[in-house]
Amino acid sequence: MKIQFYIANSSSDGRELIVPTTARLTKELSRFNERKTSVEVHLSDEKVNYNRPEDKRCLILIKVHGMPPITISGHAESYENAVNEAILKLKLSLLATYGRLRVYL
């Protein structure tokens, strides 16, 4: 599985998370290895609304063989929390998707 990172605005906070996020994604998504082809992690700082503290965003796009890509995002006060939220949502989405596939196959 190939994991690519895209970090907006060359944030040093986001760059520090590349190694631990890669390790966590590899561990958390290992049960889905047979079908996934690549994973993209996009980290960005959205300071559009200054009244909202959740301005860090992690968007994860996973490409699964034979299916449309799955895109999940997480918003939080820090990149680490945004990544954690996005990974949790992605894992739940994949479990639901694979569960439905087993029912229909």
Q: What is the mean pLDDT of the chain?
A: 82
Cβ contacts of 89 within 8 Å, gap of 6 or more: 72, 73, 74
CATH fold group of domain 2-104: Double Stranded RNA Binding Domain (3.30.160)
Res 97: pLDDT: 80
pLDDT of amino acid 47 = 72
Q: Residue 47 half-sphere exposure, CB side, CA atoms within 13 Å?
A: 3
Where along the chain do its domains lie?
2-104
Q: Which helix (H) or strand (E) is 95 found in, with range?
A: helix 79-104
In the predicted model, what is the mean pLDDT of residues 41-67? Answer: 81
Distances from the Cα of 40 to the Cα of 49, 50, 53, 84, 105, angstroms: 26, 27, 25, 15, 28
Average pLDDT over residues 13-30: 86
Going 38 to 81 to 6 to 21, the CA torsion angle's sign is: negative
